[in-house]
Every structure is written in C-alpha cells, then in structure tokens.
Amino acid sequence: QKEVEQNSGPLSVPEGAIASLNCTYSDRGSQSFFWYRQYSGKSPELIMFIYSNGDKEDGRFTAQLNKASQYVSLLIRDSQPSDSATYLCAVNKNDYKLSFGAGTTVTVRA
Amino acid sequence: ETGVTQTPRHLVMGMTNKKSLKCEQHLGHNAMYWYKQSAKKPLELMFVYNFKEQTENNSVPSRFSPECPNSSHLFLHLHTLQPEDSALYLCASSQESGSNEQFFGPGTRLTVL
C-alpha cells in the first residue's frame, strides 16, 4: 500500500468552477499535511498546510482534514487558468520526512 | 524568487563523468534535503541534513554522495551514474528537522547518457 495516494487525473474543470482534489494516507500517526502546487518544469510550491481536523481556508483554497478517515482534500474555488498545475499532497509524522503522493494534474478550461 | 537556489539548472553527463550539484538556502534554515523526482512518480527523499549532520540516507546508491559543509550549503556529488538516474533533483530546506514546511529550490534537470 502506498503511503500517500492521489488520483493522477487529469482533472479538468471549467473556469470559475470548484476543483476538488483528494488524498488518502496510510499511517495513522501522521500529524501534518501539506498541499504543494507544481507547474510544469518548475519546483513544488507550498500553498496550504493543515494540522487539525476540519477546514482551513486561505483565499480561494480550502484544505479539509479527517484523521479518522485518513483523508485530506483541497478545494480550489473560482478556478482560474493559472491554477492549471500538478498538486502534490504530502504527509508528515512530525519527523523530518515528508511522504509525497504522485500528484493530481488539474486543467482549468477557459 | 525562491530563497533556495540550485546550480546548475540543467546537466548532461556521461556515465563515466563526475559532477556536483549545488544548493544554497538564504532562509536561515537548519535542515536541508535532497529529493529525486522522476516522471509520474512521487518525490523520493534521498538525504536529510540537520545542523550539518546527516540524519537520513534513504537507501541511496553510493554513486550519489552528499556533502553539507554548513547549514546554508548542500552538495550532491555524482559519479558513474546510470541512465535511470536521469531525473529532476530538488533541494529543499526547512526551519529545523521536525518542522514541516519545506521550501524547494528550482531543481537540476539531470540527463545521464
């Protein structure tokens, strides 16, 4: 079983719609959760992190965490073409190691 | 502009060559990391340094040799690589090991012929 699993996509959404990305993880001891955005040919950029169950909002982004279900998601509201990228879910057990999913590719259609 | 820089940005080398990748972070962080990113695969952690001490070697072949002379600089020395080592090599840093927010450099795109 992979430590962190994501649907590879591509996830295609029309401009202005909500993009919903999902991530599941296998280690119940995981404590902190991250979403990185990676444009083609570029390095990952941290966009959200969440530590507690529930929702965390930052601008058009909302991260949702459910530790009981071992599930973390990212919602992108009012999707823009500039949101087209690969989104990486990463999980940490409060040591120095992040475990990454393979990423979900999002395409926003103008 | 990222606070983590990497050179070179692109590197093509033969299997018998020796080369080095360099990473420098300007964020005052204490932990630095090397990752390998291959197409369609998750980021793979290679090495971790915390306060210049290596704290993780994730079963990386000996043809990859890291060096961390101080908390701001990290090198990856390469020798006798294989074509399957072609990938994007990313350096990252964080405030301290155990801290969660890692910031990445732009990466070195390595091609081994």
Q: Tell me the pLDDT tens digit for each residue of A31-45.
A: 899 999 999 989 999
Question: Are B45 and B31 in contact, with CB atoms under 8 Å apart?
Answer: no
Report which DSSP code applies to A2.
-
β-partners of residue B103 are B93
Q: Which of B40, B43, B57 to mutate to test the interface with A (most CBs of A within 10 A)?
A: B43
**Closest residue in B to A105 (Cα–Cα):** B40
Do residue A96 and residue B101 have CB atoms under 8 angstroms apart?
A: no
- Whether B33 shows a pLDDT value over 70: the answer reads yes
pLDDT of residue B98: 56
Give the whole-number percent of chain B exceeding pLDDT 70.
Answer: 94
Which positions in chain B touch A88 (Cβ < 8 Å)? 42-43
pLDDT of residue B40: 78
Out of A45, A49, A88, closest to residue B100 by CB = A49
Question: Are A87 and A99 in contact, with CB atoms under 8 Å apart?
Answer: no
Burial of B19 (0-12, 13-18, 19+ CB in 10 A): middle
Report which DSSP code applies to B15.
T
Do residue A34 and residue B100 have CB atoms under 8 angstroms apart?
A: yes
Q: pLDDT tens digit string along B67-80?
A: 999 989 999 999 99
pLDDT of residue A7: 86
Mean pLDDT lowest among B4-13, B19-28, B44-53: B44-53
Amino acid at A72: V
Do residue B45 and residue A97 have CB atoms under 8 angstroms apart?
A: yes
Average pLDDT over residues B57-75: 92
The tokens describing A30, both together, are 């995981």
Which positions in chain A touch B94 (Cβ < 8 Å)? 96
**Number of residues that this document lists for chain B:** 113
Burial of A33 (0-12, 13-18, 19+ CB in 10 A): buried
**Closest residue in A to B109 (Cα–Cα):** A41
Average pLDDT over residues B83-108: 88
Terminus-to-terminus CA distance in chain B, angstroms? 31
- Whether B97 shows a pLDDT value over 60: the answer reads no
Average pLDDT by stretches of 10, chain A with 110 residues: 86 96 94 94 93 95 96 97 96 82 94
Whether chain B has a CB inside 8 Å of the CB on A4: the answer is yes
- Whether B56 shows a pLDDT value over 80: the answer reads no
